[in-house]
Amino acid sequence: MKTEIIKLNNVIKTYGDVKAVNGISFSVNMGEIFGLLGPNGAGKTTTIEMIVGLRKPDDGSIIINGLDNIKDIKKIKEIIGIQLQSTSLFDLLTVRELIELYGSFYSTNVDYDTLINDMLLKEKQHARVKGLSGGQKQRLAIALAIVHDPQIVFLDEPTTGLDPQARRTLWDIIIKLKNNGKTVILSTHYMEEAEVLCDRIAIVDSGKLIALDTPNNLIHDLHRENAIEFYCEDDFDISSIKAAEEVSNINEHNNYFTVYSSNITKTLFTIIQIANLNNWILRDVKTRTATLEDVFISMTGRRLGE
């Protein structure tokens, strides 16, 4: 039986003329890693900051663990831990001093030594924040977020700007949080990160929720298990391929074609046949499994990075 630990109902936040969050509703289940996926400026950070009580929604309601997040924000702060995207810490304090300081802000604390060990910061515990690497800083930020053993942990783009190895180290830590029974709300604009980590993903774009499901369902529901990509300088006529039953969608971008098909053998054969008949030259022909990136493109018409 799944328990809803967070529930957003038609939440709206406007800055001037811009609707940063435009009527978002979803629920997060206890114990899952819930992903908020979307490009920069989609409203991920604003959504997280409203849930944790740092911003007030213009409309709608947010319930956390049965408590209203405006009336009962004090009680809520005790059971949530946050790592904010734009946070910097006191540069001149050491890792251990900061953990002890943030620990003192709460009535309950985890064991500091265990926490420092778990976050792989033992060797750096007496180093000042100033001298930490990007990955170490993010691990410290997560340590500060869980110093009071919260039920729910919010991580706003924790891996942005990290090198691949530091990113993977952080993934392990996030999975460990889940294994320890915490609910994790994670925002990211990396598709593969959401696919690897999240139990469920909410795709947001321009302040709206455009899809919400498990990574597999998101891909399967669109019947895009496979994609064929190719480049053709000639004026490739896609109408005959599009008509085929097994082809669900075709995207064209600067003469790069992406064809989604449930029968890759048949579609690939058709494409090559048409090209051969018309003497069109195909280059860079590739086949691959469809990803969340494809889901995003089909829903928004844009790539994530754009």
Partner 1 sequence: MKSYLLLTKAQLKIFARNRQVLFWTFFFPVFIMLMFGAFVGKDQGIKLSTAIVDKDNTKLTKSTIKNIKESSLFNIKENLDKDTAYERLENGNVDLIIEIPKGFTQKLNDQVRSPLEITVYYNEKNYSNAQVGITLVNNIFDNISKDAQNYNPLFKITPKGIEAIKIEYIDFLVPGIVAMMIMNMNMNGVAGQIASWRERGILRRMQGTTLKASNFISAQITARLFLNGTQTFFVILLAWLVFDIQIRGSLVGLVLFTVLGILTFMSLGFIIAGIAKTPESAGPIAGFLSFPMLFLGGVFFPISNMPELLQPIVKTLPIAQLTTSLREIMTLGTSISELSFELFSLIGWMVVSFVIASFTFKWE
255 binds partner 1 (CB under 8 A): no
Q: What is the C-alpha to C-alpha distance for residues 82 and 205, in angstroms, rounded to an integer? A: 23
54 binds partner 1 (CB under 8 A): yes
93 binds partner 1 (CB under 8 A): yes
107 binds partner 1 (CB under 8 A): yes
Look at the block and give the residue holding tokens 């609707």: 19
Q: What is the C-alpha to C-alpha distance for residues 34 and 213, in angstroms, rounded to an integer? A: 10
Single out the residue of 56, 68, 105, 256 in contact with partner 1 (rule: CB under 8 A).
105
Q: Which one of the spans 10-18, 76-84, 161-169, 289-297 is the region binding partner 1 (CB under 8 A)?
A: 76-84
Single out the residue of 74, 181, 245, 283 in contact with partner 1 (rule: CB under 8 A).
74
Single out the residue of 16, 71, 92, 181 in contact with partner 1 (rule: CB under 8 A).
92
Give the nearest distance from C-beta 97 to partner 1 in angstroms: 7
86 binds partner 1 (CB under 8 A): yes
Give the nearest distance from C-beta 131 to partner 1 in angstroms: 12
Size of the site for partner 1 (CB under 8 A): 25
**Cα atoms found within 13 Å of the Cα of residue 221, Cβ hemisphere only:** 13
197 binds partner 1 (CB under 8 A): no
What are the structure tokens assigned to 273, written together? 């046949």
Nearest CA among 91, 114, 252 for reference residue 180 = 114
Single out the residue of 21, 28, 37, 52 in contact with partner 1 (rule: CB under 8 A).
52
77 binds partner 1 (CB under 8 A): yes
| Long-range Cβ pairs for the range 280-284 (8 Å, 24+) | 280/232, 280/234, 280/236, 281/232, 281/233, 281/234, 282/230, 282/231, 282/232, 283/230, 283/231, 283/232, 283/233, 284/229, 284/230, 284/231
> Maximum distance among all alpha carbons in the chain?
75
Which positions from 161 through 190 interact with partner 1, judged by CB under 8 A?
none
72 binds partner 1 (CB under 8 A): no
84 binds partner 1 (CB under 8 A): yes
Nearest CA among 28, 21, 24, 6 for reference residue 200 = 28
* 147/177 with CB nearer partner 1: 147
Give the nearest distance from C-beta 180 to partner 1 in angstroms: 20
Residues 177 and 31: beta-carbon distance below 8 Å: no
Residue count of the chain: 306
Single out the residue of 12, 101, 238, 250 in contact with partner 1 (rule: CB under 8 A).
101
Q: What is the C-alpha to C-alpha distance for residues 112 and 95, in angstroms, rounded to an integer? A: 11
* 76/259 with CB nearer partner 1: 76
* 183/258 with CB nearer partner 1: 183
Residues 36 and 204: beta-carbon distance below 8 Å: yes
88 binds partner 1 (CB under 8 A): yes
CA angle 15, 20, 22 (to 5 degrees): 115
Which positions from 123 through 152 interact with partner 1, judged by CB under 8 A?
128, 144
Which residues in this chain contact partner 1 in the complex, by CB under 8 A?
A: 52-54, 74, 77-78, 82, 84, 86-90, 92-93, 97, 100-102, 104-107, 128, 144
